[in-house]
Amino acid sequence: MKGRALGYQISGAKMLILFAIFAITNWYLIVISNCLIISPFLHN
């Protein structure tokens, strides 16, 4: 029973890490795309 609980904790931690990585990369892509969209307006 204890081993199963530990397994759930490990899989939960993996999911959390994957979600964090996904969220960070998503935010990073949004920032880059926003910079690319805004930069032509800043140069003019």
List the domain range (segments joined by +) for residue 20. Answer: 1-44
- DSSP H helices, the chain, are 2-43
Cα atoms found within 13 Å of the Cα of residue 15, Cβ hemisphere only: 6
CA dist list (Å): 2 to 6, 8, 11, 19, 34: 6, 10, 14, 26, 48
CA dist list (Å): 1 to 4, 9, 16, 26: 5, 13, 23, 37
Number of independent structural domains in the chain: 1
Identify the three-state secondary structure at position 1. coil
pLDDT tens, position by position, for the chain (44 residues)? Answer: 677 888 888 899 999 999 999 999 999 999 998 888 877 766 65
Query: Which pLDDT does position 8 carry in this prediction?
Result: 85
